[in-house]
Amino acid sequence: MPILSKEEAQAILKKVLSYSKADECEVSLNGSEGGNIRYALNAVSTAGDISTMGLAVTSVYGKKAGTATIDEFDDAALERVVRRSEELAQLAPPNPEYMPILGPQTFAESITYNANTAAITPESRAEMVAKSLSVTKEAKLTAAGFLENSSGFSSIMNSKGLFAYNKGSDVTFSVTTRNEEGTASGYAARGFTDVSKLDTFSATKVAAGKATGSVGAKAIEPGKYTVILEPVAATYMLENMFRFDARSAEEGRSFLSKKGGGTRLGEQLVDEKVTIYSDPFNTELPSATWGGDGLPREKTMWIDKGVLKNLSYSRYWADKKGVKPLPGPTNIIMEGGDATIEDMIKSTEKGILVSRLWYIRMVDPQSLLLTGLTRDGLFYIENGKIKFPIKNFRFNESPVIMLNNVEALGKTERSISVESYRSYLIPPMKIKEFTFTSLSDAV
Amino acid sequence: MRRRDFIYLSGLGASAMLLPDLKAFGKTVDVQQLLDGGIDVKAKKELADVALNMAKSKGASYADIRIGRYLNQFVITRENKVLNVANTESFGVGIRVIVNGCWGFAAGNVVTKDGVAKTAERAVAVAKANAKVGGAPVQLAPQKGYGEVSWKTPIEKNAFEVPIKDKVDLLLNANSIAMQGGANFVNSNLFAVNEQKYFASTDGSYIDQDVHRIYPAFNVTKIDSSQGSFETRRSLSSPVGMGYEYLTPLDNEKVTGVTTRYKKRYDMIEDIKAAAQQAGDKIKAKSVDPGKYDMVLDPSHLWLTIHESVGHPTELDRVLGYEANFAGTSFLTLDKWKSGNFNFGSKQVNIMADKTQVGSLGAVGYDDEGVKCKKWDLIKDGILVNYQAIRDQAHIIGLKESQGCCYSQSWQDVQFQRMPNVSLQPGKTPLSVDDMIKNVEKGIYIIGDGSFSIDQQRYNFQFGGQLFYEIKDGKIVGMLNDVAYQANTREFWNSCAQVCDEKDYRLGGAFNDGKGQPSQSSAVSHGSSTALFKGVNVINTKRKIG
Interface predicted TM-score of the whole assembly (ipTM), two decimals: 0.91
Residue B486 and residue B419 in contact, taking contact as beta carbons nearer than 8 Å: no
Cβ of A372 within 8 Å of Cβ of B4? The answer is: no
Which residues, numbered 352 to 371 in chain B, qualify as contacts with chain A under a Cβ-Cβ cut-off of 8 Å? Answer: none
Cβ of B322 within 8 Å of Cβ of A45? The answer is: yes
Start-to-end CA span in chain A (Å): 45
**Alpha-carbon distance A252 to A379, whole Å?**
40
Chain A residues lying within 8 Å of B100, measured CB to CB: none
Strands (E), B413-502: 416-417, 421-424, 442-454, 460-472, 475-481, 483-488, 496-499
Calculate how close chain A gets to B10, using CA atoms only, in Å: 5
**Alpha-carbon distance B369 to B53, whole Å?**
18
Please indicate, yes or no, whether residues B171 and B299 belong to a single structural domain of this protein: no
Select from B284, B318, B334 the last residue of a domain: B284
Count of residues for chain B?
546
Residue B513 and residue B388 in contact, taking contact as beta carbons nearer than 8 Å: no
Please indicate, yes or no, whether residues B271 and B217 belong to a single structural domain of this protein: yes
What pLDDT digit, counting tens, does each position of A276-318 carry? 999 999 999 999 999 999 999 999 999 999 999 999 999 999 9
* Interface test mutation site (partner A, options B10, B219, B317, B491, max chain A beta carbons within 10 A): B10
Please indicate, yes or no, whether residues B168 and B316 belong to a single structural domain of this protein: no
Q: Is there a cis peptide before residue A325, judged by omega within 30 degrees of 0?
A: no
What DSSP letter does each residue of A30-49 carry, written as one string? EEEEEEEEEEETTEEEEEEE
Chain A residues lying within 8 Å of B331, measured CB to CB: 441-442
Select from B284, B306, B327 the last residue of a domain: B284
Residue A373 and residue A237 in contact, taking contact as beta carbons nearer than 8 Å: no
Calculate how close chain A gets to B435, using CA atoms only, in Å: 31
Cβ of A362 within 8 Å of Cβ of B451? The answer is: yes
CA distances from B415 to A173, B143, B367 (A): 21, 16, 10
Q: Where are the alpha helices (DSSP H) in B138-216?
A: 164-180
User: Does some domain include residue B545?
Assistant: no
Write down the pLDDT at residue B427.
Answer: 98
Stretch among A7-16, A208-217, B16-25 having the lowest mean pLDDT? B16-25
Cβ of A264 within 8 Å of Cβ of B546? The answer is: yes
Cβ of A420 within 8 Å of Cβ of B4? The answer is: yes
Residue A27 and residue A156 in contact, taking contact as beta carbons nearer than 8 Å: yes
Cβ of B6 within 8 Å of Cβ of A176? The answer is: no
Q: Which residue of B has its CA nearest to A148?
A: B1
Give A50's pLDDT tier (boundaries 50, 70, 90). Answer: confident
Write down the pLDDT at residue A142.
Answer: 96
Cβ of B321 within 8 Å of Cβ of A71? The answer is: no
**Alpha-carbon distance B460 to B486, whole Å?**
7
Residue A423 and residue A402 in contact, taking contact as beta carbons nearer than 8 Å: no
Question: Phi/psi of residue B176, each to 5°?
Answer: -70, -35
- Residue A50 is which amino acid? I
Please indicate, yes or no, whether residues B291 and B377 belong to a single structural domain of this protein: yes
What pLDDT digit, counting tens, does each position of B161-213 carry? 999 899 999 999 999 999 999 999 999 999 999 999 999 999 999 999 999 99
Pick the closest to residue A66 from B303, B155, B32, B289 (CA basis). Answer: B32
Strands (E), B244-400: 254-255, 261-262, 286-287, 291-297, 351-354, 375-380, 383-384
Pick the closest to residue B488 from B451, B453, B450, B461 (CA basis). Answer: B461
- Residue A65 is which amino acid? A
Strands (E), A198-327: 224-229, 276-278, 300-304, 307-308
For residue B429, give its domain range: 287-540
Indicate if the pLDDT at residue A335 is higher than 70: yes
Which residues, numbered 515 to 534 in chain B, qualify as contacts with chain A under a Cβ-Cβ cut-off of 8 Å? Answer: 517-518
User: DSSP letter at B240?
Assistant: B
Is any Cβ of chain A less than 8 angstroms from the Cβ of B464? yes
Question: Which run of H or of E encompasses B74?
Answer: strand B62-78
Q: Where are the alpha helices (DSSP H) in A49-139?
A: 75-91, 115-118, 122-138
Cβ of A371 within 8 Å of Cβ of B132? The answer is: no
Mean pLDDT per 10-residue interval, chain B, length 546 residues: 28 28 45 65 96 98 96 92 82 95 90 95 92 86 97 97 93 98 98 97 98 98 90 98 98 97 98 98 97 98 98 97 94 98 98 98 98 98 98 96 97 95 98 98 98 96 98 98 98 98 97 91 97 98 89
Please indicate, yes or no, whether residues B197 and B342 belong to a single structural domain of this protein: no
Chain B residues lying within 8 Å of A371, measured CB to CB: 451, 453, 462, 484
Please indicate, yes or no, whether residues B166 and B312 belong to a single structural domain of this protein: no
Chain A residues lying within 8 Å of B16, measured CB to CB: 292
Calculate how close chain B gets to A346, using CA atoms only, in Å: 30
Q: Where are the domains of chain A?
A: 6-210, 216-239+336-439
**Option in A123, A144, A287 nearest B9 (CB):** A287
**Option in A287, A294, A438 nearest B460 (CB):** A438
Cβ of A441 within 8 Å of Cβ of B459? The answer is: yes
Chain B residues lying within 8 Å of A126, measured CB to CB: 129-130, 132-133
Question: Which run of H or of E encompasses A157?
Answer: strand A141-158
Write down the pLDDT at residue A1.
Answer: 54
Chain B residues lying within 8 Å of A42, measured CB to CB: 135
Is any Cβ of chain A less than 8 angstroms from the Cβ of B163? no
Select from B257, B284, B311 the last residue of a domain: B284
Cβ of B328 within 8 Å of Cβ of A358? The answer is: yes
Residue B395 and residue B139 in contact, taking contact as beta carbons nearer than 8 Å: yes
Q: Is there a cis peptide before residue B518, judged by omega within 30 degrees of 0?
A: yes
> For the residues A374-399, what does the mean pLDDT come to?
98
Question: Which run of H or of E encompasses A190?
Answer: strand A185-192
Is any Cβ of chain A less than 8 angstroms from the Cβ of B428? no
Please indicate, yes or no, whether residues B522 and B468 belong to a single structural domain of this protein: yes
Distance of CA A357 to the CA centre of its chain: 15
Question: Phi/psi of residue B522, each to 5°?
Answer: -140, 160
Size of interface A-B (CB pairs under 8 A): 331
**Alpha-carbon distance A353 to A377, whole Å?**
8
CA distances from B446 to B481, B531, B538 (A): 11, 11, 12
Cβ of A122 within 8 Å of Cβ of B126? The answer is: yes
**Alpha-carbon distance B117 to A389, whole Å?**
53
Write down the pLDDT at residue B463.
Answer: 98
**Alpha-carbon distance B148 to B204, whole Å?**
9
Q: Which residue of B has its CA nearest to A165?
A: B10
Question: Phi/psi of residue B255, each to 5°?
Answer: -115, 110
Calculate how close chain A gets to B79, using CA atoms only, in Å: 12
Is any Cβ of chain A less than 8 angstroms from the Cβ of B397? no
Count Cβ atoms below 10 Å from residue A34 Cβ, excluding itself.
26
Chain A residues lying within 8 Å of B109, measured CB to CB: 52, 71
Q: Which residue of B has its CA nearest to A43?
A: B135
Residue B80 and residue B176 in contact, taking contact as beta carbons nearer than 8 Å: yes
Chain A residues lying within 8 Å of B184, measured CB to CB: 251-253
Pick the closest to residue A363 from B542, B506, B197 (CA basis). Answer: B542
What pLDDT digit, counting tens, does each position of A16-34 carry? 999 999 999 999 999 999 9
Give the torsion sign (CA, A134, A136, A142, A144).
negative
What pLDDT digit, counting tens, does each position of A118-152 carry? 999 989 999 999 999 999 999 999 999 999 999 99
| Angle, CA of B307, B310 and B314, to the nearest 5° | 115
**Alpha-carbon distance B307 to B329, whole Å?**
15
Please indicate, yes or no, whether residues B156 and B32 belong to a single structural domain of this protein: yes
Beta bridge partners of A228: A353, A430
**Alpha-carbon distance A324 to A328, whole Å?**
13
- The CATH code of the domain that includes B172 is 3.30.2290.10
SS3 call for A147: strand
Cβ of A146 within 8 Å of Cβ of B29? The answer is: no
Cβ of A67 within 8 Å of Cβ of B9? The answer is: no
**Option in A95, A166, A261 nearest B81 (CB):** A95
**Alpha-carbon distance B2 to B8, whole Å?**
10
Q: At what angle do helices A122-138 and A200-213 cross, to 10 degrees?
A: 30
Chain B residues lying within 8 Å of A255, measured CB to CB: 545
User: Does some domain include residue B122?
Assistant: yes
Question: Phi/psi of residue B244, each to 5°?
Answer: -70, -15
CB contact set of A72 (below 8 Å; sequence gap of 6+): none
Please indicate, yes or no, whether residues B291 and B431 belong to a single structural domain of this protein: yes
**Option in B82, B223, B333 nearest A253 (CB):** B223
User: DSSP letter at B308?
Assistant: I
Cβ of A146 within 8 Å of Cβ of B452? The answer is: no
Cβ of B414 within 8 Å of Cβ of A70? The answer is: no
% of chain A surpassing 90 pLDDT? 88
**Alpha-carbon distance B76 to B86, whole Å?**
9
Cβ of A260 within 8 Å of Cβ of B85? The answer is: no
- Helix and strand tally (H, E) in chain A? 10, 19
Please indicate, yes or no, whether residues B199 and B121 belong to a single structural domain of this protein: yes
Q: Which residue of B has its CA nearest to A142?
A: B321
Please indicate, yes or no, whether residues B406 and B529 belong to a single structural domain of this protein: yes
Please indicate, yes or no, whether residues B332 and B396 belong to a single structural domain of this protein: yes
User: Does some domain include residue B453?
Assistant: yes
The fold adopted by the segment(s) A6-210 is: PmbA/TldD fold (3.30.2290)
Q: At what angle do helices B113-131 and A122-138 cross, to 10 degrees?
A: 20
Calculate how close chain B gets to A436, using CA atoms only, in Å: 12
Chain A residues lying within 8 Å of B118, measured CB to CB: none
Q: How many separate domains does chain B show?
A: 2
Is any Cβ of chain A less than 8 angstroms from the Cβ of B112? no
Indicate if the pLDDT at residue A2 is higher than 80: no
Environment class of residue A440 by beta-carbon count within 10 Å: exposed (0-12), middle (13-18) or buried (19+)?
buried
**B454-474: buried (b, 16+ CB within 10 Å) or exposed (e) per residue?**
bbbbbbbbbbbbbbbbbbeee
Cβ of A84 within 8 Å of Cβ of B326? The answer is: no
Count of residues for chain A?
443
**Alpha-carbon distance B362 to B355, whole Å?**
6
**Option in A51, A65, A252 nearest B225 (CB):** A252
SS3 call for B173: helix
- Residue B403 is which amino acid? Q
User: Does some domain include residue B546?
Assistant: no
| Angle, CA of B136, B515 and B387, to the nearest 5° | 65
